Structure 1
């Protein structure tokens, strides 16, 4: 196929009924691609069952055209684009569920909570209570969301002494236990002063991974 032929097809191909789009757009910011996108996700969910370890994360898909929910995020490699949340298999990176961040939706069937907690619950609806482990980064900070996740340091549920690393030996780990949850604060060495905080409901001890040798990393951190 020639380049010009490809561009012609791109200009003329349509997956949406233009006659009803303006009416649907009154209630849905992503009305032009809603049907196609949801059909694709349904096929992803129906044709593969994710393994025992999955991840939830966000990404910015490059896009600079006109779009009311296009975002600018300065610290991303691609600074302009559309934010997409995803749940993927940790082993083979298969994408099971995607959700587009649509900005502030008009009142209607597609207006829903876009907080990190709510997004995490929607993405993990097929995974929770199935014995799988869900790992997420520090954007998703709610403890009930996943079996294992990284916490933000300003989370008010973290005891202050887990955050003070000035007087601590390096490397060192502090563990906190509460019912079915374990919180760990890990500092690696004097040169790397980063405080790694993670909480897990999969683990129930303070084991150190022997393969990390002098770094003495907790198994909660090296699990995946």
Structure 2
């Protein structure tokens, strides 16, 4: 009896999320007109310890084991626009899906293309090529953190000596702006 109850609860959760793209697939839906201009691209780990070929181990997450999900959510209401399960390395063939950073973001943002919104992403999904592509081809802007070891980071941003509360701007070649701010000193200094 208890297993059936758990199964029903799980199915309700799946049904709530699975009908989202089909209900709101057009850009003229009432919800999309009233939702916020800022969206977020999340990387979630749904706890799962069972057998599954695409179960992931991410040590920095609380559950550590689970199914990795990429989601596009509204920043104000946390409404989920679109989701995609990361299925791991894909074999070549008719069902191959490219899981590169740029392609994952482009697949997830399909529902909000050409809507002049801003997308907030984490550092693993931030790069200059993606930012320029989203601005020019999809009419979306992107805000994210760029690590110092990325090749597109200028040398003046990579310097170890930065003054406290220093602010450094760098305008890119077209639609990009880099900003460096030092709010506090490192612990080991």
Same fold flag (TM > 0.5): yes
RMSD of the alignment, in Å? 2.9
Provide Cα deviations, 1:117-166, integer angstroms capped at 9, x if missing partner: 11111111232332111111101023234422221221101111112142
Task: Tell me if 1:7 matches 2:3.
Answer: yes
Runs of 4+ aligned residues of structure 1 deviating over 6 Å after TM superposition are none
Offset at 1:115?
Answer: 1.3
Q: RCO higher in 1 or 2 (8 Å CA, sep ≥ 6)?
A: 2
Distance 1:61 1:174 in 2: 38
Aligned to 2:165: 171
- Report which of the two structures shows the higher radius of gyration computed on alpha carbons: 1
Residue pairs, 1:114-193, within 5 angstroms = 114-143=99-128, 144-145=130-131, 146-166=141-161, 168-178=162-172, 179-190=174-185
Q: Distance in 2 between matches of 1:83 and 1:135?
A: 19
Q: Quick check: 1:45–1:97 contact (8 Å CA) kept in 2? A: no
TM-score by length of 2: 0.76
Separation (CA, whole Å) in 2 of partners of 1:36 and 1:69 = 22
- Compared CA separation, residues 38 and 94, structure 1 to 2 (3 A): closer
**Unpaired runs of at least 5, structure 1:** 16-32, 194-224
How many residues matched?
169
Listed one character per residue, the Cα deviations across residues 174-217 of structure 1 (whole Å, up to 9, x for unaligned) are 10012321101111123568xxxxxxxxxxxxxxxxxxxxxxxx
Residues 54 and 87 in structure 2, CA contact (< 8 A), matched pair in contact too: yes
In 1: Cα distance, 2:37 partner to 2:52 partner: 37
After TM superposition, give the deviation of residue 90 of structure 1 in Å.
0.6
* Unpaired segments ≥5 residues, structure 2: 132-140
Other-structure match for 1:59: 44
CA deviation after TM superposition for structure 1 residue 108, in Å: 4.5
Distance 1:81 1:106 in 2: 21
2:98 corresponding residue in structure 1: 113
